[in-house]
């Protein structure tokens, strides 16, 4: 097999079927590629509806539907399929992880695979994401850092210009370019990279797992690129409400904060993670003060600062210290 496309569905059958329909023209001409829809134990009729659509549209020769036993998150759901495929008698050369809330344009899969074929040191490639109207979305990034967390939350023009070289989002370009990480909505991974560094970290339930995976790949000497010839329309936040772009986001779930905390502690250590949190809170507070003084609406998710403090590394460390302090280690028998 050349390329395996993995789509993880959770209670979004209409979006998944729409995604499959967009892939159909390209998959019909790529006999060495296959698509697997993994369902993360949806509590609706997702499996039945998607399976019926596959049969009705005669997609069975290039699509398989695999129900999973539990919803253990984005990383675990994708890993379940990737792990089995790598152990198969005909393992894929490349694996494309594709969100169900996407619509692929013609040659979206082939463009990524062709770039991989031509560049053996590239371990990860990402598509250019766009809206349904064709407007470009940011889908290539720098790794987050102390300075980037302050810049992104303060939202002050002069600060952003001074710290431009540390800003996480990268401007879209009309040609392939090397980046730190790409959006997890549509990114292709070389199978040999999985074999070298392992699969996605399943301790991330949702969010930051692709950032962490690209970080591990970079540490192992692999390159990550964005390939704009692969264009994929993306409708962010359809199932979580976190990353919506057409309205104020919903309150962020606990797993967003937990994933963010894990990323910084795992890759930079606890002290760095605490400093990052403090700079984030400083920047966010300054931004809110500016909005109040200028009588501008608050566009942040509800209760964002309170939730951030509650799940911050410092508060979590205090809670752990209290638990340990309330259960002292007892001396053994003499």
**pLDDT tens digits, 29-79:** 888 999 999 999 999 999 999 999 999 999 999 999 999 999 999 999 999
Give 166's DSSP letter.
Answer: G
32-44 CB burial, b ≥16 within 10 A, e <16:
ebbbbbbbbebee
202 pLDDT higher than 90: yes
The whole-number pLDDT of residue 168 equals 97
Contact 14, 46 (CB under 8 A): no
Residues 278-305 have a mean pLDDT of 93
C-alpha dihedral sign at 260, 263, 268, 270: positive
Burial class of 146 by CB neighbour count within 10 A (0 to 12, 13 to 18, 19+): middle
Q: Which candidate, 144, 105, 142, 108, places its Cα nearest to that of 126?
A: 108
∠ CA 162-164-165, rounded to 5°? 115
Which pairs count as long-range contacts for 148-152, CB under 8 Å and 24+ apart, including other chains? Answer: 149/276, 149/279, 149/280, 149/283, 150/279, 150/280, 150/282, 150/283, 151/283, 152/283
Give me 310's structure tokens: 């509650």
At 319 the three-state DSSP class reads helix
The 10s digit of each residue's pLDDT in 165-195 is 999 999 999 999 999 999 999 999 999 999 9
330 pLDDT higher than 60: no
329 pLDDT higher than 50: no
Cα 277 vs. chain centroid, distance in angstroms?
21
The whole-number pLDDT of residue 244 equals 57
The whole-number pLDDT of residue 45 equals 96
Q: Please state whether beta strands 122-130 and 177-179 pair in parallel, antiparallel, or not at all (unpaired).
A: unpaired
CA separation for the pair 300, 153 (Å, rounded): 10
The whole-number pLDDT of residue 30 equals 86
C-alpha dihedral sign at 187, 193, 194, 199: negative
Give me 64's structure tokens: 């398989």
The whole-number pLDDT of residue 31 equals 87
The whole-number pLDDT of residue 139 equals 96
The 10s digit of each residue's pLDDT in 150-161 is 999 998 888 888
CA separation for the pair 85, 97 (Å, rounded): 13
CA separation for the pair 125, 270 (Å, rounded): 30
The whole-number pLDDT of residue 25 equals 96
Residues in the chain: 334
The 10s digit of each residue's pLDDT in 220-247 is 999 999 999 999 999 986 655 565 556 6
Contact 66, 38 (CB under 8 A): yes
The whole-number pLDDT of residue 175 equals 97
CA separation for the pair 205, 73 (Å, rounded): 4
CA separation for the pair 29, 140 (Å, rounded): 29
Mean pLDDT (the chain) is 93
């Amino acid at each position: 097999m050349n390329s395996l496309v993995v789509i993880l569905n959770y209670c979004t059958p209409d979006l998944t079927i729409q995604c499959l329909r967009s892939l159909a023209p390209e998959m019909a001409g790529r006999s060495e590629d296959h698509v697997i829809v993994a369902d993360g134990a949806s509590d609706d009729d997702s499996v039945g509806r998607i399976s019926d659509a596959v049969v009705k549209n005669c997609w069975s020769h290039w699509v398989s539907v695999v129900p999973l036993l539990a919803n253990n998150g984005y990383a675990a759901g994708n890993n379940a399929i990737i792990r089995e495929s790598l152990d198969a008698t005909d393992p894929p050369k490349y694996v494309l992880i594709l969100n169900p809330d996407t619509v692929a344009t013609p040659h979206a899969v082939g463009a990524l695979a062709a770039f991989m074929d031509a560049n053996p040191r590239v371990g990860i490639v990402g598509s250019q994401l766009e809206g349904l109207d064709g407007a470009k979305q940011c889908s290539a990034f720098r790794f987050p850092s102390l300075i980037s967390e302050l810049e992104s939350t303060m939202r002050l023009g002069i600060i952003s210009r001074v710290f431009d070289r540390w800003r996480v989002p990268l401007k879209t370009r009309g040609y392939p370019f090397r980046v730190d990480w790409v959006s997890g909505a549509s990114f292709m991974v070389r199978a040999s990279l999985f074999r070298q560094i392992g699969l996605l970290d399943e301790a991330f339930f949702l969010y930051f797992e692709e950032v962490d995976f690209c970080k591990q790949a970079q540490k192992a000497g692999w390159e990550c690129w964005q390939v704009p010839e692969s264009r994929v329309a993306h409708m962010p936040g359809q199932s979580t409400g976190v990353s919506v772009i057409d309205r104020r986001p919903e309150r962020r779930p606990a797993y967003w904060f937990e994933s963010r905390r894990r990323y910084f502690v795992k890759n930079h250590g606890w002290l760095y993670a605490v400093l990052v949190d403090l700079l984030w809170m400083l920047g966010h507070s300054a931004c809110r003060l500016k909005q109040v003084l200028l009588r501008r609406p608050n566009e942040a998710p509800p209760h964002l600062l309170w939730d951030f403090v509650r799940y911050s590394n410092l508060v979590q460390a205090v809670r752990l210290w209290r638990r340990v302090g309330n259960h002292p280690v007892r001396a053994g028998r003499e």
